[in-house]
């Protein structure tokens, strides 16, 4: 098994080359168990060079860059590490695989050095090559396709040829945005769909009622004999999501099988949470970190938490929406809150910044917002002209003015301009979001009314049954 990774070299190429060819790491004496073999007396270094010499490889790489006019490029070279499982290969095999990898992937175009390090339990190859091709001067492009269809494919093919194991992908990875939202405990599209499927599944009597329950929650459902994978998409937008991507227990066959079980056994068991420490230790820890730990952005305190603010205009609108999002986050909102409203929690910080901006500048309606924006644009234009004049004065060396003082004035104006332009962008966001917030509040009000109506019907039905 070989695990590969690649790093761009943006500073000292010679340091990486020296590290790859380090004699203390590439010598056979560094391998575990070599000292027990007294028959071997000569030192063996597992190092090689391709398209350049081992004596001065960096000099030849830099000469290639100068010949093609690429010596000023930011990326000087690339460093590939190819690691093997402990005990699976001998030092000779690891070095032979690395050299063959270089021949197949790099040797036709790039100057490369390779050193097989044996100072750890797992033998690993360090491959350093010039980013500029000696053949045509083109730069190596490190992208997704070159790694998976180039580096990883060639390395896996060599492992199979030598009879080694290969890392097989288990399932599809997560997008970075989804991983970041989960890390920050924000709602994700996949998590909301999974929660809805579990709730509908727990109350469904058959597969048809399960599909009907998803449709009542606003989902478009694709399933049937002609559909390979059951998928759902909310009517508010987005792409279809295959339910099998939520886990093996969410395929169509698994859902049909779970529907045959009692309702209390249909929801998959959650992983066991680690034991919580004692409460007094928690308090002590909180007191120690209270000065450095930031508060959660989705929590509202003071007048927000109590529900009494006394705002009007745009500030009242954003306040109501923030208060509603807090209730959604704490699961105190209506049970069947809309899919789109739950997704709005990702933009909570944006709405909170808008609310604070409106309160700070006492902006209550569109007219006040437009007036503030026009005033800011006028002031920005005046400061830009003033800064341009200072730039001209600083560039004129014959006036005898203090360049340090002029630079300080320019820096102050630049900081002020940056803050004013940030406010202008915030004004544009507020103007675009107010109508959206009104629609979401109206939708939430409709959901609350629908839930209240259903509760009254349930009470009436229970009374009739009694």
Residue 396, class by beta-carbon neighbours within 10 Å (0-12 exposed, 13-18 middle, 19+ buried)? Answer: exposed
Report how many domains make up the chain. Answer: 3
Q: In terms of domains, do 146 and 182 share one? A: no
Residues composing the chain: 466
Of 403, 415, 310, the closest CA to residue 364 belongs to 310
Q: Is the pLDDT of residue 332 over 80?
A: no
The single-letter DSSP state of residue 30 is: G
Q: In terms of domains, do 335 and 459 share one? A: yes
Q: In terms of domains, do 157 and 180 share one? A: no
Q: Is the pLDDT of residue 33 over 80?
A: no
Q: In terms of domains, do 307 and 451 share one? A: yes
Domain assignment present for 24: yes
Q: In terms of domains, do 324 and 438 share one? A: yes
Q: Is the pLDDT of residue 283 over 90?
A: no
The sheet that has 241-242: what strands, in order across it? 219-222, 231-234, 241-242
Domain assignment present for 388: yes
Q: In terms of domains, do 321 and 191 share one? A: no
SS3 4: strand
Domain boundary, last residue among 219, 240, 265: 265
Domain assignment present for 275: no
pLDDT of residue 247: 83
CATH number for the domain spanning 29: value is: 3.30.930.30
The predicted model gives 304-320 an average pLDDT of 59
pLDDT tens figures, 113-124: 999 998 888 899
Sign of CA dihedral 64, 69, 71, 74: negative
Instruction: Tokens for 247, please give them.
Output: 């886990």
pLDDT of residue 132: 92
CA distances from 111 to 130, 137, 205 (A): 6, 12, 67
Where is pLDDT greater, at 171 or 404? 404
pLDDT tens figures, 355-395: 888 888 888 887 888 888 888 888 999 999 999 888 888 87
Instruction: Tokens for 198, please give them.
Output: 């579990």
Report pTM: 0.47
pLDDT tens figures, 128-154: 999 999 988 899 988 888 888 888 889
Q: Is the pLDDT of residue 415 over 60?
A: yes
From CA 129, how far away is CA 146, in angstroms rounded? 15
121 and 91 Cβ atoms separated by less than 8 Å: no
Where is pLDDT greater, at 254 or 323? 254
Domain assignment present for 340: yes
Q: Is the pLDDT of residue 299 over 50?
A: no
Of 380, 401, 381, 378, the closest CA to residue 390 belongs to 401
Q: In terms of domains, do 311 and 443 share one? A: yes
pLDDT of residue 111: 92
pLDDT of residue 310: 54
Q: In terms of domains, do 417 and 316 share one? A: yes
pLDDT of residue 79: 93
Domain assignment present for 403: yes
Domain assignment present for 279: no
Of 295, 296, 358, 294, the closest CA to residue 321 belongs to 358
Strand 241-242 with 231-234, pairing = antiparallel
Where is pLDDT greater, at 304 or 89? 89
From CA 414, how far away is CA 141, in angstroms rounded? 37
Buried b (16+ CB within 10 A) or exposed e, 115-141: bbbbeeebbbbbbbbbbbbbeeeeebe
From CA 333, how far away is CA 329, in angstroms rounded? 8
Domain boundary, last residue among 213, 242, 265: 265
Q: In terms of domains, do 335 and 449 share one? A: yes
Q: Is the pLDDT of residue 282 over 50?
A: no
Q: In terms of domains, do 195 and 118 share one? A: no
Domain assignment present for 409: yes
Element (H, E) at 436: helix 403-465
The predicted model gives 92-112 an average pLDDT of 90
Q: How far is CA 414 from the centre of its chain?
A: 31
Q: In terms of domains, do 111 and 183 share one? A: no
Q: In terms of domains, do 204 and 139 share one? A: no
pLDDT tens figures, 41-68: 445 788 999 989 888 899 999 999 999 9
Instruction: Tokens for 139, please give them.
Output: 């730069």
| Confidence class for position 330, pLDDT limits 50, 70, 90 | low
Domain boundary, last residue among 161, 185, 216: 161
Domain assignment present for 272: no
88 and 1 Cβ atoms separated by less than 8 Å: yes
Range of the domain at 255: 176-265
């Amino acid at each position: 098994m070989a695990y590969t990774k690649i790093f761009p070299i943006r500073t000292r190429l010679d340091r990486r080359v020296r590290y790859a060819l380090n004699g203390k790491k590439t010598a056979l004496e560094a391998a575990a168990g070599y000292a027990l073999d007294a028959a071997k007396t000569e030192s063996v270094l597992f190092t090689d060079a391709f398209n350049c010499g081992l004596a001065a490889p960096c000099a030849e790489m830099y000469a290639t860059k100068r010949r093609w006019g690429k010596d000023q490029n930011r990326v000087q070279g690339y460093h590939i590490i190819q690691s093997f499982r402990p005990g699976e290969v001998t030092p000779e095999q690891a070095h032979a695989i690395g050299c063959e990898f270089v021949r197949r992937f790099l040797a036709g175009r790039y100057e490369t050095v390779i050193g097989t390090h044996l100072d750890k339990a797992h033998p690993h190859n360090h491959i350093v090559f010039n980013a500029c091709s000696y053949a045509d001067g083109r730069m190596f492009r490190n992208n997704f396709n070159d790694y998976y269809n180039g580096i990883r494919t060639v390395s896996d093919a060599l492992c199979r040829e030598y009879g080694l194991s290969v890392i097989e992908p288990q399932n599809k990875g997560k997008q970075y945005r989804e991983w970041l939202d989960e890390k920050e405990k924000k709602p994700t599209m996949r998590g909301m769909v999974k929660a809805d499927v579990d709730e509908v599944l727990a109350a469904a009597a058959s597969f048809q009622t399960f599909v009907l329950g998803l449709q009542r929650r606003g989902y478009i459902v694709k399933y049937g004999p002609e559909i390979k994978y059951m998928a759902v998409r909310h009517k508010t937008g987005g792409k279809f999501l295959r339910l099998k991507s939520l886990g093996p227990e969410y395929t169509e066959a698994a859902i049909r099988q779970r529907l045959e079980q009692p309702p209390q056994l249909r929801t998959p068991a959650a992983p066991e949470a680690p034991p919580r420490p004692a409460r007094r230790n928690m308090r002590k820890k909180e007191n120690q970190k209270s000065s450095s730990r930031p508060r959660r952005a989705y929590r509202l305190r003071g007048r927000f938490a109590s529900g009494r603010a006394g705002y009007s205009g745009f500030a009242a609108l954003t306040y109501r929406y923030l208060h509603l999002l807090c209730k959604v986050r704490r699961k105190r909102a209506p049970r069947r809150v809309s899919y789109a409203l739950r997704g709005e929690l990702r933009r909570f910080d944006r709405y909170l910044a808008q609310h604070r901006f409106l309160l700070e500048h006492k902006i209550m309606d569109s007219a006040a917002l437009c007036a503030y924006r026009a005033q800011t644009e006028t002031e920005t234009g005046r400061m830009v002209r003033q800064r341009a004049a200072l730039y001209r004065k600083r560039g004129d060396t014959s006036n005898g003015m203090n360049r340090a003082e002029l630079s300080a004035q320019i820096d102050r104006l630049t900081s002020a301009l940056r803050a004013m332009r940030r406010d202008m962008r915030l004004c544009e966001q507020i103007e675009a979001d107010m109508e959206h917030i009104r629609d979401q509040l109206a939708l939430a009000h409709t959901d609350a009314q629908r839930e209240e109506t259903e509760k009254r019907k349930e009470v009436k039905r229970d009374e009739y049954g009694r």
